[in-house]
Structure 1
């Protein structure tokens, strides 16, 4: 399994901490806290996920049982938490997770299936949250977004996740008036966007690095660059269904500007299949000026050429994985 981007993170329980790539690489979760055992699938109370997430101290949260947790309200996750689903099959339904004004949170190996109610997101990251890593999770059937990153939340990595049966997948930056979102930085890699309609992601203001993702059979567009966004699409695989246009540009007026603008996308080594059409901005000087240079932010990341073999690897290893819980303790 050495071809995986961080194949060694499962060697010990807390070996996961600090192993993210990209902008969320500093996330340590509950590395320095006690282990909290989820022993109940109830919405709240002793031994529940909600109880562990609300505690103020650092915790590494693991599950002693598999099954469905019906959430009546969103679970507020406090700082320095790891929610680690390895070793069990845990599904969250009804509501999702809310990461509000928190830092150093890791969410790993969970299923998010079926959010109910108005404007329910699977994971909502806002406001002012940072150092977040979402890894190996499966998402489908929420009433609003699957992951929303807004309101000055930054330094976030989403890796090896599976997104399916949904419309609005990942939103980064919610409103053209939110000019403070110029601070947002997000990395998305080795994810499988499996027939979801749009927002893979949709971006306002933020700097976003996409690499080694597989996006297929979108209904509207694959990636959307709106006001002042800077997107690098590196060695991704885009396989069209009926809709062929991969990249979309939407113009909006920033809250402190008079003129409308869109964002910019630079494609490097992407593979376009089944008639997919990039529709890129062809002004190279504009791209060099307006799109982030990834190596100015971090110097190492695991990227492979976009090939059909990589496509199969992403499909196999994205989303919830049937892996045993690693040994307890520090690596």
Structure 2
């Protein structure tokens, strides 16, 4: 017996424009299995929503439901606000100017979060350079795991730009720009005696520019830092202290004081780095890896002499990331709602589309992360079929368009 999937017209319609340069999945430690998760997927499978006001963004971020949240425009608060981000969220800056001003993404005891293509800035408290009267970070995460922070821009916040504290684990921080700040990127701080000192972080292809301290500093944890570019750093660059054990590879340090510094008993292995006009501490203290990196994941190093050009051109928000997602308001009632129906035969892995009348329609299918995997023009007359045998089990989105009318919904493959 044929079972038709229940359908409700979505106010938000998802488009996905493929770009061969776009990375839509995390790498490094964010992709490694641990603590009950296989990898980091964010809000995959959840509804795609637009947050173009502070109120909408706050509501979606705090929700217990999975969401892919598209931040649109500049969202600004007159007084500093903590936005509590719940588990299973993807936050994407829509365009290259999506901005949170005077806000902090506050991630406490959560998991499975992706933050990309976003600008976070301007929570600085005038006269408080050291952040002694406030804790206004751009992103603050405590005891959370499986996070991917990618292609964001951070500047001029109150305390830290990125603070990954306590046992924040299985995170990758990639292709971000951190600039014009005192405490750029701090990691660790054991305060209650129950934190795990062996959490795992990957930090690659970030541009840290015109900052002072914590670029980043590891108080504890296992860190893999590669292909980063640090410029005009005044206090110190990459630092291992406490129980921190880090590997620093093929990075460029230009006009940096103490580019590679260790406070005992911290451990740092470094190789392939390029130091230009640097002073102070410039060497690691380990001759072999302080942990078995190869047992966690594979990776490819960019040549050191190409790192500056790669990072300065690609760090921060990029249009191609936004182009993977496009949302358009549509009429709540579409003439296609009842005219075209579809169902999946799980045995033959075939999608069937049915219409009582002949309908010329464009059919598109997307992965739950928003990547378009099929687009075709069909004449739907009584019944048309579309093979799905090459698709993996999971949830897919379908969009049917005819004569300016839309129908969207889900396909479930067992």
Question: TM class, shorter-chain normalised?
Answer: 0.7 to 0.9
Tell me if the contact between 1:200 and 1:223 (Cα under 8 Å) persists in the aligned partners: yes
> What does residue 107 of structure 1 align with?
115
Deviations 1:100-120 (A, max 9, x none): 111110000010111145111
In the alignment, which of 110, 120, 124 is matched to residue 136 of structure 2? 120
Alignment of 1:152-191 (within 5 A): 152-175=167-190, 178=193, 180-191=195-206
Tell me if the contact between 1:233 and 1:268 (Cα under 8 Å) persists in the aligned partners: yes
Give me the TM-score of the superposition, normalised by structure 1. 0.83
Distance 1:16 1:131 in 2: 17
In the alignment, which of 20, 28, 31 is matched to residue 26 of structure 2? 20
Distance 2:193 2:309 in 1: 38
Alignment of 1:241-320 (within 5 A): 241=256, 243=257, 245-251=258-264, 262-276=265-279, 278-282=281-285, 284=287, 287-288=288-289, 291-298=290-297, 300-307=298-305, 309-320=306-317
Distance 1:278 1:20, change over 3 A: farther
Quote how far apart the aligned CAs of 1:10 are: 7.0
Quote how far apart the aligned CAs of 1:282 are: 4.6
Distance 1:140 1:134, change over 3 A: same
SS in structure 2 at match of 1:180: coil
Distance 2:208 2:17 in 1: 24
Distance 1:314 1:301 in 2: 17
Give me the TM-score of the superposition, normalised by structure 2. 0.67
Tell me if the contact between 1:161 and 1:319 (Cα under 8 Å) persists in the aligned partners: yes
**Between Structure 1 and Structure 2, whose CA radius of gyration is higher?**
2
Distance 2:274 2:223 in 1: 19
Quote how far apart the aligned CAs of 1:169 are: 0.8
Structure 1, 272-281 or 115-124: larger mean CA deviation: 272-281
Quote how far apart the aligned CAs of 1:32 are: 1.3
Quote how far apart the aligned CAs of 1:322 are: 3.3
In the alignment, which of 147, 157, 161 is matched to residue 142 of structure 1? 157
Distance 2:286 2:171 in 1: 29
SS in structure 2 at match of 1:49: helix
Structure 1: gaps of 5 or more residues: 1-8, 252-261
Tell me if the contact between 1:238 and 1:276 (Cα under 8 Å) persists in the aligned partners: no
Quote how far apart the aligned CAs of 1:275 are: 3.9
Equivalent pairs counted in the alignment come to 295
> What does residue 37 of structure 1 align with?
50
Distance 1:327 1:162, change over 3 A: closer
Tell me if the contact between 1:66 and 1:88 (Cα under 8 Å) persists in the aligned partners: no
Deviations 1:41-67 (A, max 9, x none): 2x32xxx1111101111111113x312
Q: Does 1:89 align with 2:105?
A: no
Structure 1, 138-147 or 65-74: larger mean CA deviation: 65-74
SS in structure 2 at match of 1:216: strand
Distance 1:306 1:16, change over 3 A: closer
Deviations 1:239-258 (A, max 9, x none): 125x3x2122224xxxxxxx
Tell me if the contact between 1:59 and 1:82 (Cα under 8 Å) persists in the aligned partners: yes
Structure 1, 65-74 or 151-160: larger mean CA deviation: 65-74
Quote how far apart the aligned CAs of 1:181 are: 3.3
Quote how far apart the aligned CAs of 1:283 are: 5.3
> What does residue 326 of structure 1 align with?
324
Distance 1:10 1:156, change over 3 A: farther
SS in structure 1 at match of 2:137: coil
Quote how far apart the aligned CAs of 1:310 are: 2.3
